[in-house]
Structure formats: C-alpha cells, structure tokens
Amino acid sequence: MSGDLLVVGSVAIDAVETPFGREDEALGGSALYFTAAASLFAPVRLVAVVGEDFPTERVAFLAERGADLSGLVRAEGRTFRWKGRYGFDLNEAHTLETHLNVFEGFSPELAPAHRACPYVFLANIDPDLQQRVLDQVEDPRFVALDTMNFWIEGKRRSLLDAIARVDMVVLNEAEARMLAEEPNLVRAAQKILSWGPNGVVVKRGEYGAMYFADGHVFAAPAFPLEEVFDPTGAGDTFAGGMMGYLASTGNLEPDNIRRAIVFGSAMASFNVEDFSFRRLERLTYDEVASRYRQFKTLTEFEAEVG
C-alpha cells in the first residue's frame, strides 16, 4: 500500500568548501536533501523550522513536485547554519562552525495530515525529538530513523529507546560501529537488529551501502563517477531515494528494499555532482530510471560456477 511520506529533520544554510569549489549561503539540512530526492517518487510532507533569513522562494520547486511544505515553520531568529570543509577524502566533512539558531528550540508539532502519513523518516535530530514524533504519528506502516555520532555519544539511552520503536535504522559505517560498540560491521548490524528494528542500512560513502535484516544481507556499490563536487547531503539524499521508492510502491519485502537501496544510491550519485541540491533540483525521473538501469548492468554477473 503506497502513501504519503513524512520527514522530520533540519533545514539549514551551509557554507561548504571542497577541493573543487566553494559555496556560501548554500541551502541544506537533512530534511531538505531528503525531500528533494524523495519528491521524485512519492508525495512528501516536510516538518522543520527555519529563521527569518531563509529564502523560501529557493525551495519552490519542491512544492511544484507536490511536496507539502506547510510544516516548514518560520521562527524569529536565524536559520540553522553549518560551515564545513572537505579534503580530497570526500567521505569525511570537517566541521568549522555550527550555529543551531532557531533549530535549538525545534519541537515538532504535527498537523493531522502529518500524523496520518503511513511512511515516516526521522532524520538526524535529537532522539528525544524523534520519540516526540513517534508519540504523535498514527499507526504508521513503516518508520526509519537516522542518527549521528553526537547523539550516540550524548543521548545513547534515548536513542536506543527510539531505535526499539522503528522498523529500520539508517546510519553510516563509523556510526554503526560506535553505536554497537563492535568493530566488525556485520556483528555491529546484527547487534542493532537485536534491539528491535527489522532492518539496518549502513551507508558507506564511495563504497556504497549494505542492508542487513533477519536472514538477509545485501551490498550495493556506489555509482562510479568521474567528477564529484560536493558530498554534503549525500546520505540524506540516499535515504530520500530509498524511502521515496518504498512509499511509492508500498512493497516492504526484502527484495523491494534491495531495489529501494539501489534507487537511493542512484539519487546520492546525482547529488554529489553539484553543490547544495542544485543537481537534484533539475533532475528528472527519467534520468534516475536510466541510472538505476546502469546500476543493474554494473552489478550483473553469471551465478554459475564451474
């Protein structure tokens, strides 16, 4: 059963520097990248907070795609701002400045349309807020949660409580090991599964992604690109592609989750081709479908052995 997709997370204004360029006043944040990707697949309802300095007209393309931005609340003050730099190892961002601003007081209150969404993605926010959202949604069909090292270290108990209430955990390789306190990635994923979720997706940057569930392990590569300009938001874009596809199909069987992961990897590969979400803004579904087929060719091989 397909349906609307709710995302609750951050919207930010970033300053990003990579070896290939620099962008100030770049729009970003987990919820914005997620929505830019997921809206190509399914109706998305975004809940986040911005300040008086946020240029709303620059996200009008999301509404044109059918995304519901009524939950994008404008508060008095400045928008959450992040400044970071990447070296030639584009898998790791070096944070230079973080100013939470209005995001510091963010406390999501869901409207009836938000509460009724059958698919929910809790982006990288305080696990106490993630649980606040879970307390408000009405019997969702599928809920996924993202997190980061800051919450793993600072709010571990609350994060574990939130994980026990969701269907899938999405996090990167270092976070999986830190959360499980286990250096082996396979054992780390199995430990996280033992806490309650049905699936764990580990984002591995330029090495792709892995999916773990009871009796299932799946590895998808990253798409090989000659040019990468800005990896900011790639993980959130991946999640948006994956969750958007699941919401559009309504099929939560392991084989379809595998397809969703490949769609997520395809979306992330487009995101890194330009700064902010400019590539996602001009992206079409036909381009996504074409890259999905390229992924299939990339990973196809004969199973027989002699």
> What CATH number corresponds to the domain at position 213?
3.40.1190.20
Q: How many domains does the chain have?
A: 1
Q: How far is CA 142 from CA 5, 11, 173, 199, 237, in A?
A: 10, 23, 23, 11, 18
For residue 270, is it within any domain? yes
Higher pLDDT, 98 or 20: 98
| Whole-prediction pTM | 0.93
For residue 254, is it within any domain? yes
Q: How far is CA 242 from CA 41, 103, 279, in A?
A: 9, 26, 18
Question: What are the tens digits of pLDDT across the range 144-158?
Answer: 999 988 899 999 999
What does pLDDT average to over the chain?
A: 92
Q: Which domain holds residue 85?
A: 5-299
For residue 45, is it within any domain? yes
Q: Just list the catalytic residues.
A: 236
For residue 306, is it within any domain? no
For residue 275, is it within any domain? yes
For residue 266, is it within any domain? yes
For residue 304, is it within any domain? no
Q: Which pLDDT band holds residue 159 (cuts at 50, 70, 90)?
A: very high
For residue 178, is it within any domain? yes
Question: What are the tens digits of pLDDT across the range 40-64?
Answer: 999 999 999 999 999 999 999 999 9
Measured CA to CA, the distance from residue 243 to residue 5 in angstroms comes to 8
